[in-house]
Chains A and B, each alone.
Chain A
Amino acid sequence: MKRATLTGLLFSSPFLIGFIAFTLYPIGASLVYSFTDFNMFKSPSWVGLDNYRWVFQEKDVWKSIANTLYMVLFATPISLIVGLLLAQMLNMKVRGQSIYRTLYYIPSIVPAIATSLVWMWVLNPKSGLINTALGYLGIRGPNWLLDPVWTKPSLILMGAWGAGGIMIIFLASLQDVPRSLYESAEIDGAGKVRKFFSITLPSISPIILFQLIMGLITYFQYFAQAFMLASMTNSGANQTMAGPEKSLLFYAVLLYREAFVDFRMGHASAMAWVLFLITSIVTYLIFRSSNRWVTYGGD
């Protein structure tokens, strides 16, 4: 082996060892476990495709897929739109621009658990900020946390509040839109809206593609905030973690429950690989469609 290659390998060995031990090896192991019945206390026993059959037949799995698709289809575009609009606004040359940018970014760095705790108080139907404010307008706010219809919108609200991360990346991409394009459009008499849809959007479309895929992957795996909401609105020793009428039973939450509450590792591993398949297919389809709507600079 050439000396340069050896040196390279040595330098990257900490990462390689960690990657192999903590990522590749567990992935391989979970594939095997998905074909077994394993509860961590006894040896796994081979069951073939039973676990996969269970994934496609179990009612709770389909409910969790429906819940997850709800988030994927609604929360992804909403957080992207909110992030983009915020970025547009924060791109305007006003006094205190950097202060505003900081303020709008900070919510996204608050840890998910703290966010959930704070929002549980904000969404409290009797004394929370939102319903009290709605009360001043004469509107009786909904029961955000216990009404099965409103639990997911509560989560979307939390997500929109934390759209700072998305906003920052859009903000950066907005800086790269060539000034000359805007100027020539103004000469041709284009207004703000026209400029936005015809120049801004196509120019940042590669970033939109990136954010779209990242957003989809995030919401397919949605867990922390839902888990917090479901476990905190319980009393006594309720361990179903599903929220009111299973409205908070997301795919990743059900996976966690199968793995660590019910200790059915076979089921959980099968669920994980099915999710991997679904996410890969969706990502591939989006990449395929991107030829039609993404324009890379210099075209």
Chain B
Amino acid sequence: MNAKQGRKASLLLVVVTMVAGLLSACSGSDNGNKGSASPSASASESGKPAGEKSKVSVWYLWGGAEGEALEQIIQDFNASQDKYTVEGLSVPDEQKIKVAIAGGNGPDLTDSFDWVVPQYAQQGIALPLDDLIARDGYDLSDFIPAALESGRFDDKLYSLPLNANFSIMYYNKKLLADSGYSEPPKTSKELYDVALKTTKVNGDGSIEVIGFPSYPSEGYLFNAMAHGFGSSYLSEGAKELTFNNDSTKAAMQMIYDYNTQFGVDNIRQLQAAGKWLDPTDPFLTGKQAIRFDGPWLSAHIKNMNIDVDYGIAPLPYLDGKPETAGGGLVSSSIFYIAKTSKNVDGAWEFMKYLYSPEPLAKFMSLMGNIPATKSAMAQPAMKDMVDSEQIMPLTESPNLKSIPHFAKRSDFDKLLGEELELMFNLKKTPDETMSVLEGKLAEFLK
């Protein structure tokens, strides 16, 4: 074979290979099914000897003390029955979990947050639970209805809610007392006054103590503040955009004013200086007077033995609208079964165990979360949750709301975050931002 023939041959080889790649992609193989079909077939073929437990893999996003809390529940489950062995794995990267599920070698059961349900349902990542619920006659009435709805999309139930969490107001008693406040702020106006007075600025403009709940970020506090002021973003069933109301506008204006007064740069510097829920977290080092965060903050403070004199109160309500007191945005962590799970029965058995009153109460009290079932909330274990006597009464407020599901939820959240960020950075005024949002957010509801 001379050189010319050799070149022709290798060119032919390259073309043939690429065409082969083209053709096999064209044939449209259903990768998801392929991935799960073969392993489960081989599992049943290998014919497990009687008495050997089948494996259920559970990957979870938590780490540290929270991950250990779940591991305790897993150990309890493994000890309580002979059929399944659950193996837990802490995988803090949700990317990795999604890609593993897509490739067919992911976990059987994993956790996430309720706002992903529309996306995961449409992408086919989560398995609908309706058949399993019907088969076993599983009782859903114990769940708090609003929390349970967060797993429903397109008339199918894709997940069960673990908790019903909402941000509450944590305040540093000493910092408030030093500025003359013996009581936490109750209204929006009081909140701003306290924030102004407790913020301490250094000579060069940098912030020593931040009075506003700007840490960890304005994005983090925005939904809580707006809903605390009584806002509601969408009408029931996500039919209409109700985002433009006095409460939302008040929240936007307040953040804008605070950022204008103290300088975005200075606030960003403080935000970059510590890590959320770490010992370097400004609230934990006594450098933040007011903080909006979930009840897990109490558990973190106790677990890390942080010495900060703090108090808990409901989020401030909009000045002049006391009927909106006790407001907040409820969201849930969820567990869902992966579409490509190789042990759906095992995953479901563990799920039923995890959600039964005692294990759920034990898990939630260790994490400092509010469980999503009425029977778990009533369990004695909940009294062990740090600050439960102060937090549990706040769950009874009728002004707690949740955001209804709709198909383009993730795009909605993304746009909201981007436009608000421009306003937080003082690149756009609240009015300009609101008119942009009003126009664009409604598009996602169609």
Contact = CB atoms under 8 A, between A and B. Distances in A.
Contacts of A126: 206, 269-270, 272-273
B339 A41 contact: yes
Interface string B17-54: 11111101110111110000000000000000000000
Interface stretch (A196-204, A210-218, A239-247, A275-283): A239-247
A25 B17 contact: yes
A64 B259 CA distance: 28
B32 A41 contact: yes
Contacts of A24: 14, 17-18, 21
B309 interface: no
Nearest to A23: B17
A27 B19 CA distance: 10
A53 interface: no
A240 B219 CA distance: 13
B254 to A, nearest CB: 20
Interface of A: 1-2, 5, 20, 24-29, 31-33, 39-44, 124-127, 140, 142-143, 145-148, 233, 235-240, 244-246, 260-263
> Chain B interface residue count: which class?
35 or more
Contact of B265 (A31, A143, A238): A143
A144 to B, nearest CB: 8
B113 interface: yes
A41 B269 CA distance: 43
B31 A25 contact: no
B95 A260 contact: yes
A269 to B, nearest CB: 10
A236 B220 contact: yes
Nearest to B6: A5
Contact of A44 (B28, B102, B205): B28
Given A2-B1, A42-B124, A143-B268, A240 B417 contact: yes
B102 A25 contact: no
Interface stretch (B83-91, B375-383, B418-426): B418-426
Interface in B99-134: 99, 102-103, 113, 123-125
19 contacts: A24-B14, A25-B20, A25-B21, A27-B18, A28-B21, A28-B22, A29-B21, A32-B25, A41-B31, A41-B339, A125-B268, A126-B270, A140-B206, A143-B265, A145-B272, A146-B272, A260-B95, A262-B410, A263-B102
A235 B28 contact: no
Contacts of B220: 235-236
B174 interface: no
A260 B94 CA distance: 10
Contacts of A32: 21-22, 25-26
B32 A42 contact: yes
A28 B20 contact: yes
Contacts of B14: 24
Given A29-B22, A29-B25, A260 B124 contact: no
A26 B21 contact: yes
Interface in B148-170: none
Nearest to B101: A41
A49 B273 CA distance: 47
B204 interface: yes
Nearest to B274: A126
A240 B414 CA distance: 7
A41 B124 contact: yes
A245 B423 CA distance: 11
Contacts of A263: 98, 102, 123
Given A28-B22, A32-B22, A235 B276 contact: yes
A127 B273 contact: yes
Contacts of B276: 235-236
Interface string B255-268: 00000000001001
A3 B219 CA distance: 69
Nearest to B29: A43
B433 interface: no
Contacts of B95: 260-261
Contact of A236 (B13, B216, B418): B216
Contacts of B94: 237, 239
A143 B425 CA distance: 13
Contacts of B102: 40-41, 263
Given A145-B272, A146-B269, A263-B102, 12 more contacts: A40-B103, A41-B123, A41-B339, A44-B28, A125-B273, A126-B206, A236-B276, A238-B219, A260-B98, A260-B99, A261-B95, A263-B98
A24 B22 CA distance: 10
Nearest 7 Cβ contacts at the A-B interface: A28-B21, A41-B124, A32-B25, A126-B273, A28-B18, A235-B216, A25-B21
A236 B103 CA distance: 26
Nearest to B10: A16
B271 interface: yes
B100 to A, nearest CB: 11
Contacts of B418: 240, 245-246
Given A24-B14, A236-B220, A260-B95, A146 B31 contact: no
B242 interface: no
Contacts of A238: 219, 417
B78 interface: no
Contacts of A244: 421, 425
A261 B94 CA distance: 9
A260 B205 CA distance: 42
Interface in B130-188: none
